[in-house]
Structure 1
Amino acid sequence: MSAEIGQLALILAFMLGLIQGLAPLLGAHRGDSVLMSLGRASALLQMFFVALAFGALATAYLTMDFSIELVAKHSHSTQPLAYRFAATWGSHEGSMLLWVLILALHGGAIAYFGGTLRETLQARVLAVQGMLSAAFIGFCLFTSNPFSRLSPIPLDGTELNPLLQDPGLVMHPPLLYLGYVGFSVAFSFAVAALIEGRVDAAWARWVRPWVLSAWISLTVGIALGSWWAYYEL
């Protein structure tokens, strides 16, 4: 059941990303408040559906659902609970889903907290974020699907890579991705400002905390990863 829920949630999130990437951009060009508000609603809904997909995969790992190929290849019933959960992003497909989750959370935050921005600027920022999220979700769906099924279903998994069974796996990738993906907001604001041809105090005031938080997360993530690699290898 987790696979079906996750797959459907990702498909809906992809469609919402396309809407978010197009509707507010057209709305800002026409001065249409309805289309611009559609971009905000799409970003919030997409955040919900991506979180649902990620939760479905995490649940599959925690409940040892070996009918999902990813769970069977990167988990085992004897692994500690913390590593079974961290295995959610311990593979290429799972880490891409974590990337998409953080991207959707940033888009949702812009939609929810960006009420003080000019409506057209917020709409264009959300449009760029929507295009980015649609591209990454499409990559997950069409080339790196985390919900592929196995048949017949194995009795047990083949275990997570022993090098990854470490506390570093629990913290390092999320912090690193918060940094990498966090800079997408700065990119979206820069592109929106180029489209509008206007950079003002409101633009700078909004970009600064996003850049700082992304830089701090990336710095801590790289430092943690360096420490992990040093004592592990």
Structure 2
Amino acid sequence: FWDPVENASFMPWLVGTALLHSLIVSEKKQQFIAWTLLLAITTFALSLVGTFLVRSGVVTSVHAFAVDPARGLYILGYLGLVIGGSLGLFALRAHTLQTQNYPAFYSREIALLLNNVVLTVMMLTVLMGTVYPILIDALGLGKISVGVPYFNSVFVPLMLPLLVVMGLGIHLRWHQDCWRRMSRMLCSMMLLSIILPTMVLGLVVNHINYYTLLGLVLATWVLMSNLWLVIK
């Protein structure tokens, strides 16, 4: 797990997922337009970064199928041109993309924005763990290896708020909502999400691992949240 080349394909997927959610808000409410464009630029740029990592030979992996420094320099130059040009054009035109209509804090737009932020932070943690050894080696500061413990200790905890937002956001209304409207339903789902996994684990295993229980609780929370939409 956490192979550098696999990480290279995983990073644009994370930002692309954030982009798809942000596009919903931009299309329906004409909000987050600048943020959506920035996500689109980042997704394409990360795709080029993945191509560079796979084709240049800067990382050692069973999935890296080419070792050609000249080709790597060409891809790196193209990457700099695309990112520089895109960000430059974005900076020049960003003032035309501002919106005066801001959603309330307790709304579906904010839930989708939190979704975007968490996915972007997750991408940055993977990017740091993947690129940092390459930068250290390129600067002549030695060779280091970032392994599975780093990714598991940093990436996995970020999944917790993402799963919470996933279960909550789909029930919120656009522009503005109130807690009282959903309080009974959310509290019921929370209780079921805690009770059901605990009962199942108690019947299946002798010793309950709390990390396993937490994962099952959050998975049940997301499942119950989606089932509620179907039933309603």
| Same fold (TM > 0.5) | no
Rg larger in structure: 2
Higher relative contact order (CA 8 A, sep 6+): 1
